[in-house]
Amino acid sequence: MSALVPPFVDIDLRSYGERWGTDRHEFAQLVLPVAGVVEVEVLGRQARLDPLHGAVVVAGAWHAQRSDVDNRSIILDFDQAELEQPNRQLLLERPFAAIGPAARKLIEFMHLMAEQQTVQPGMLRGWTPLLLDTLALGVPQARSRLSALLAQVAADPGAAWSTESMARFARLSTSRLHALFREELDTSPHLWLLHQRLDLACAQLAEGNRPLAEVALACGFSEQSALTRAMRTHLDTTPAAYRRSKQELASTKQ
């Protein structure tokens, strides 16, 4: 009797540069931005992805991606058969999917796990079907009133954004902005902005040797100590410790 082979699934955190990168592979893939904006083309159809919009790339489909801003995405590779189940047919019919509050929470959880440690295969195999089912439950809907704002902030989270300036950009009162964030993202404008800035800071810490104080200022924090407090509170680490852990992880993979 042959042994049962666990379903193929893999996860990675990636950032894209300004040049288009084209690819094609025998497995399906989800592109799930957690920070910034990414331009994606799938089978000739283009879209700008942000933390509220992801891409579904079926096996064998030519696709390309690029970005001219700091960005970070979860890339999930998995068996095409996962998309062919009856309750997930909707994901096969359109290359781009809206990411609702429930799916967003699942993505944020896995992003946190992937940032802090190597994700165990068993956890990933349990999480992937739940994410696919949650994405498939979503239905096409009118463009969110927050979409333009989210894209603008995600493109440069280190700018001088505040709840008030975000409300002005969206042409909403601050109370209405809070209500929409709670309705669509199940969070507050302040906390969402903070996580965008933390994602940007983590990307810069992982990929370079820029002084910590410069990273803090570039990512919208008033000073290095403010970044340190935020990372301690939300990521249970510090900028220096985070950079060191990422450098050590990179050296073990070489």
- Tell me, yes or no, if the pTM score tops 0.85: no
Work out the mean pLDDT of the chain and round it to a whole number.
Answer: 87
List 33's β-bridge partners, or say none. Answer: 73
pLDDT for position 2: 35
> In this structure, how many other beta carbons lie within 10 angstroms of the beta carbon of residue 229?
13
Residue span(s) of the chain under CATH 1.10.10.60 come to: 147-253
All residues at 6 or more sequence positions from 134 whose CB lies less than 8 Å from its CB, including other chains? 100, 102, 103, 106
Residue span(s) of the chain under CATH 2.60.120.10 come to: 9-137
Sheet of 9-14, strand order: 9-14, 72-78, 28-35, 53-57, 96-98
**Using one digit for the tens of pLDDT, what is the confidence trace for 118-174?**
788 888 989 999 999 999 886 444 456 788 888 888 888 999 999 999 999 988 899
- Tokens linked to 197: 């800035």
Architecture in CATH for domain 9-137: Sandwich (2.60)
pLDDT for position 121: 86
Three-state secondary-structure class, residue 186: coil
Tell me the one-letter amino acid at 158: G
pLDDT for position 130: 92
pLDDT for position 1: 32
pLDDT for position 11: 94
Q: Which fold has domain 147-253?
A: Arc Repressor Mutant, subunit A (1.10.10)
pLDDT for position 250: 67
| pLDDT < 50: residue spans in the chain | 1-5, 139-142
